Amino acid sequence: MSKIIFINLRNVREDNDLKQRQLADHLGCSQKTYSDYETGKTHVPVEILAVLSKYYGTSVDYLIELTDERKPYPRQK
């Protein structure tokens, strides 16, 4: 499997003037682990992506660069 670098994870964090340490604390992981998520050294668990998408008010697809649309998808009824 190829290395995946989630550029939007870094961009969204920086757009919100956050440090890696702040997100690592929110996620309950180390700053090194969070850094590894951003650089693609470690696969980001889907649970972490879900927490980040809620935190930022965006979709997981945006975080992993499958769409350029930042807003989250509407919930289906």
Dist CA 18 CA 11 (whole Å): 10
Residue 57 sits at the vertex; the CA angle it makes with 55 and 46, to the nearest 5 degrees, is 60
More confident residue, 10 or 76: 10
> 42 burial class (0-12, 13-18, 19+ CB within 10 angstroms)?
middle
Q: Give me the pLDDT at residue 5, please.
A: 67
Q: Give me the pLDDT at residue 72, please.
A: 83
Q: What is the pLDDT of residues 35-73, one digit of tens each?
A: 999 988 998 999 999 999 999 999 999 988 888 888 888
Q: What is the pLDDT of residues 14-36, one digit of tens each?
A: 999 999 999 999 999 999 999 99
Q: Give me the pLDDT at residue 71, please.
A: 86
Dist CA 37 CA 52 (whole Å): 12
Q: Give me the pLDDT at residue 1, please.
A: 44
